[in-house]
A and B are shown apart, each in its own frame.
Chain A
Amino acid sequence: MLQAVSLSCRRGDRRLFSGVNVTVPPGTVLTVVGENGSGKTSFLRILCNLLAPEEGAVLWQGVDIRRLKEQYYAQLTYIGHLNGIKDDLTAMENLMLTAALTGDRPSDASVRDALEAVGLKHRIHHLPTRVLSQGQRRRVALARLWLSTHPLWLLDEPFTSLDQAATALVTERLRSHVQSGGLAVVVTHHEVALPSEMVQRLRLDG
């Protein structure tokens, strides 16, 4: 269970949000919506301890994540606004190396399956990420979700530059993750097509 307790955030002179209280129980997705500049990304970065909140705390299973640190990182998969993909490595190498570092130890076959799942079957090998389009790169980044064994997913605008087919694929993956007891926080300005009992919405006022 992930809890945000009276979180406030300020960037420079601007107060982005304050007093945000929200609880994400297992088996649900929290979608964070709001206008540009309302602090959605900052909120997500606070949730993964990349950014310190001005006030308040984030609790994982009731313990402050600033105390848990590495123990907490072992629970989460974060896909940021940036893809975290190296242009000089093939899609396969990117996934293998990233997964190895974050604690998932996928086999070659499962990585291949993951890339196939996001529709990049023909671009697994011998093609540096350099030649991929924006959408295809986003797919490589999101393929990590198929390899992730972590219960908590934190996703920043996962659907950006994805076509409809890919959006549907990612949504489907999100559904299966949540159905198997995982939880996720998704920052997005798209509607997430999931059954309403699974989804909790948080609107950040700009």
Chain B
Amino acid sequence: MKINWSKYSAPLAFYPLAGKMIPWFGTVAALTIAVGLYIGLLVAPTDFQQGEAYRIIFVHVPAAWMSMFLYVVMAGWAAVGLGLNARLSFMMTQAIAPTGAMFTFLALVTGAMWGKPTWGAWWVWDARLTSELILLFQYAGVMLLRTSIDDQRRADRASGVCALVGVVNIPIIYFSVQWWNTLHQGASVSMTAAPKMAAIMLTGMLLMTFGFWMYSLAVILSRVRCVILERESVQFWSKLSSVAEVAEVR
């Protein structure tokens, strides 16, 4: 009986590798976020038009960017998984979704917090916010589809197709809502404050974004380790020859 070892080796090799990377990403995330918060909350001057409420963008914009970025990355892994039939790719898809959904949720909540003082309303049907809301539904769809299918392989592949279809949808939503808004002459205040944003503000925002990105990497890698443990248990651990080896890999 011939066993295709490379098929198993991917998660097997990745598990300890991910374990080594997590502390690094975690530390970088903590440091960058700390500096970002220092600049955003303490150093950066106030904004003329919006007053201090603008400081919300230091969490809102990074969260919104991450939510979109993670969805694209998730769909990318789904495409790799569907194309190459690689299980590790589907595990990445599975690990990314909750963090992406969390950032989407945060972008929506902080968007409302920003909108109330600035627009005078918790919610405005602006293209960005609407796309963000639809994105949340899509994350929910991908995750719920996965949990409602019992067969692991089918769950992987079906939710992968679902994620890929969604990635086409988001830009269409964005432009359609923008088009719709110009038609209705609705809110035209854009969320990213001003084109010539003060350099210090931009620095703070980019630092926060980088910090969120590193945080996502750390969290996603540790989630993918959980997923490997949960899903591969028998096949995975029984490939190791001794208990000592198991302990080492862990």
Contacts and interface: CB of A to CB of B under 8 A. Distances in A.
Q: Verify that A and B bind, or say they do not.
A: yes
Interface of A: 6, 11-13, 18-19, 52, 55
Contacts of A6: 2
B234 interface: yes
A13 B151 contact: no
Contacts of B150: 12
A11 B152 CA distance: 9
B244 interface: no
A55 B150 CA distance: 22
Contact of A11 (B2, B4, B151, B234): B151
B1 interface: yes
Interface residues of B, number: 9
Interface string B1-30: 110100000000000000000000000000
A18 B1 contact: yes
13 contacts: A6-B2, A11-B151, A12-B150, A12-B151, A12-B152, A13-B234, A13-B235, A18-B1, A19-B1, A19-B2, A52-B85, A55-B2, A55-B4
A112 B90 CA distance: 51
Contacts of A52: 85
A99 to B, nearest CB: 31
Interface string B85-120: 100000000000000000000000000000000000
A7 B150 CA distance: 24
B235 to A, nearest CB: 8
Interface of B: 1-2, 4, 85, 150-152, 234-235
Q: Please report whether the interface of chain A is mostly helix, strand, loop or mixed according to DSSP.
A: strand
Nearest to B234: A13
Contacts of B235: 13
Nearest to A55: B4
Contacts of A12: 150-152
Nearest to A56: B2
A165 to B, nearest CB: 39
A108 B234 CA distance: 56
Contacts of B151: 11-12
A6 B235 CA distance: 20
A174 B235 CA distance: 42
A19 B152 CA distance: 23
Nearest to B2: A6
Contacts of B1: 18-19
A42 to B, nearest CB: 12
A54 to B, nearest CB: 8
Contacts of B2: 6, 19, 55
Contacts of A18: 1
A13 B237 CA distance: 13
Given A6-B2, A11-B151, 10 more contacts: A12-B150, A12-B151, A12-B152, A13-B234, A13-B235, A18-B1, A19-B2, A52-B85, A55-B2, A55-B4
Contacts of A19: 1-2
Rank and list the top 4 A-B pairs by shortest CB-CB distance, nearest first. A19-B1, A55-B4, A18-B1, A12-B152
Nearest to A18: B1
Contacts of B85: 52
A37 to B, nearest CB: 15
Contacts of A55: 2, 4
Contacts of B4: 55
B194 to A, nearest CB: 54
A52 B85 CA distance: 11
A55 B7 CA distance: 10
A13 B152 CA distance: 9
B97 to A, nearest CB: 21
Contacts of B234: 13
A6 B150 CA distance: 27
B231 to A, nearest CB: 9
B74 to A, nearest CB: 23
A13 B233 CA distance: 10
A19 B2 CA distance: 7
A185 B7 CA distance: 30
